[in-house]
Amino acid sequence: MSLAVWLFGERIHRRFEEIQAHFATLSARVQENLAGVRVVRAFAREERELDDFRGLNREYLDMNLGLIHTSGFLNPALTLLSGIAALLALYLGGRQVVAGQITLGQFVAFTVYLGMLNWPMVALGWVVNLFQRGLASYRRILEILDERPAEPGPAVHPPSPALAVVRARGEIEFRHLTFTYPGATRPALNDVSFSVPAGRTVAIVGHTGSGKSTLLAMLPRLFEPPPGTVFLDGRDVRAWELGALRRQIGMAPQDPFLFSATLAGNIAYGVEHADAAAIERVATIAGLDGDARGFPAGYATRVGERGITLSGGQKQRATIARAVLRDAPLLLLDDCLSSVDTQTEETILRGLRGEMARRTTLIIAHRVSTVREADEIIVLDDGAVRERGSHAQLIARGGPYAVLVRQQQLEEELEAS
């Protein structure tokens, strides 16, 4: 009976883990379809998605039925084994009584004790069933709870406690930065070197996949840079306490993310006790104030999960306002004007000029109109710096930047015609 409990317990545990994993897949598919319902409808894939969901449901049902069969077999198996034990005791004990090897009282006592063990063993099987189900779920929860951020490699200097409270001046330097994503065969950044004095605005341009966003991700250590390659105020970013480093940065990412909260709450995210006047000021800078006042509840309007009630341009402007409100010495703008029209872009850039003048700003953009006023423009190609200089200097050289400008001018002329 003990052996049966052990064998069935192992099977129940394994099958329930598989069921839990499949349920996670099923739930993810539902969430994915709900989040992407517009795409599903636009491509008329409703029936196909329903068929796929039915298939996953059928598989989930079959796996549960298999578990039910295994669990349902355990208790009858234990009852059968206890019956066999009683039969064996009656046969062997009866022979020993007849042979005079044991007394009748000893035989009766043994069979009574054996009968008393039957229910505890059956109950043990029931408990093992519940325990193995709970253990499988518990282990899956622990996989998430025990997950920790990737450990950084050895730093040039250990993190300094003094840097946990200091406000950076904003001087940035990249020294021969080469970075390769895990599993990749080619580096995303190759021997990148340049410096940005405090308070300057530097634009980074280049074709898709040239490493622009990767370069910006090195500063807040969203990806861990190699030691001695990225510096803030002359100190390796790895020498900064991670939370303190990120408090020096206001970032508007390429893919804007808004929480299921009010518009004001999303703009003020990361800033303690932001007042309404400050929120409206940065919203005006980002060209969002007019839109916000047109919403039913103004800045108190809830934007829905991932900002579903806002357009792409409104979400980008909300993240720009969020980055500005943080009032950090570093401002990182990662192609955050791609979803707005040129007129709105010019309005936002005019509002940002005053903010960029007192911060160190790195701005990534594909439109030349976004970067032409920058103090310096860095052109990346295949992860390496190809040229750098002001807008006028790069145009005069006739290099990759000048080619990019001509291409965009031609596109604009074609659109106008």
Q: pLDDT value at position 155? A: 45
Give per-residue pLDDT as tens, 105-147: 888 888 888 778 777 776 776 777 677 778 878 888 888 888 7
* Contact in structure between 364 and 212 (CB atoms under 8 Å): yes
Task: State both tokens at 25.
Answer: 């897949």
**Strands 360-364 and 330-334, sheet pairing:** parallel
What tokens appear for 389 in the block? 């200089």
Helix (H) or strand (E) segment spanning residue 331? strand 330-334
Phi/psi at 114 (5° precision): -65, -40
Percent helix, strand and coil across the chain, each rounded to 5? 60, 15, 30
Q: Which residues are registered as beta bridge partners of 250?
A: 331
Q: Could you tell me whether strands 330-334 and 249-252 are parallel, antiparallel, or unpaired per DSSP bridges?
A: parallel
Spatial neighbors of 242 by CB under 8 A, at least 6 apart, are 159, 221
CA distance 208 to 210: 6
Packing angle of the helix pair 342-357, 276-285 (nearest 10 deg): 120
Residues 56 and 28 sit within 8 Å (Cβ to Cβ): no
Superfamily classification of domain 2-145 = ABC transporter type 1, transmembrane domain (1.20.1560.10)
Domain 2-145 shares a fold with domain 161-416: no
d(CA 198, CA 215): 18
**Sign of the torsion angle spanned by Cα atoms 280, 285, 288, 289:** positive
Nearest to 223 by CA among 209, 240, 237, 208: 237
What pLDDT digit, counting tens, does each position of 184-200 carry?
A: 888 999 999 999 998 89
**Helices H / strands E in the chain, number of each:** 14, 10
Tokens of 304: 């829905």
Beta strands 189-196 and 172-179 are: antiparallel
Residue of 200, 225, 231 whose CA lies nearest to 211: 225
Total Cβ atoms within 10 A of residue 16 = 23
Q: Tell me, what's the pLDDT at 154? A: 44
Would you mind telling me the total number of residues written for the chain in this entry? 417
Position 394: which residue type?
L
Could you give the residue ranges of the DSSP H alpha helices within 336-379?
Answer: 342-357, 368-371
For the chain, domain boundaries: 2-145, 161-416
User: Among 89, 23, 9, which residue's Cα sits nearest to residue 59?
Assistant: 23
- What is the reported pLDDT for 160? 52
For the chain, residues with pLDDT lower than 50 are 153-157, 162-163
The answer to whether the Cα torsion of 406, 407, 412, 415 is positive or negative is: positive
Q: What is the model's pLDDT at position 156?
A: 45
pLDDT in the model for residue 32: 86
Choose among 224, 227, 237: nearest CA to 172: 237
Kindly indicate whether the domain formed by 161-416 is annotated with CATH number 3.40.718.10.
no
Q: What pLDDT does residue 61 have?
A: 93
Rounded to whole angstroms, how far apart are CA atoms 302 and 261?
Answer: 5
Contacts of 6 (CB under 8 A, 6+ apart): none
Give the C-alpha separation, 185 to 178, whole Å. Answer: 13
Local structure of 195: helix, strand or coil: strand
| pLDDT recorded at residue 125 | 67
Q: What angle do CA 85, 87, 89 make, to 5 degrees?
A: 70
From 352, 325, 357, 327, select the one nearest 337 (Cα to Cα): 352
Nearest residue to 140 (alpha-carbon basis) of 47, 19, 30: 19
pLDDT for 150: 60
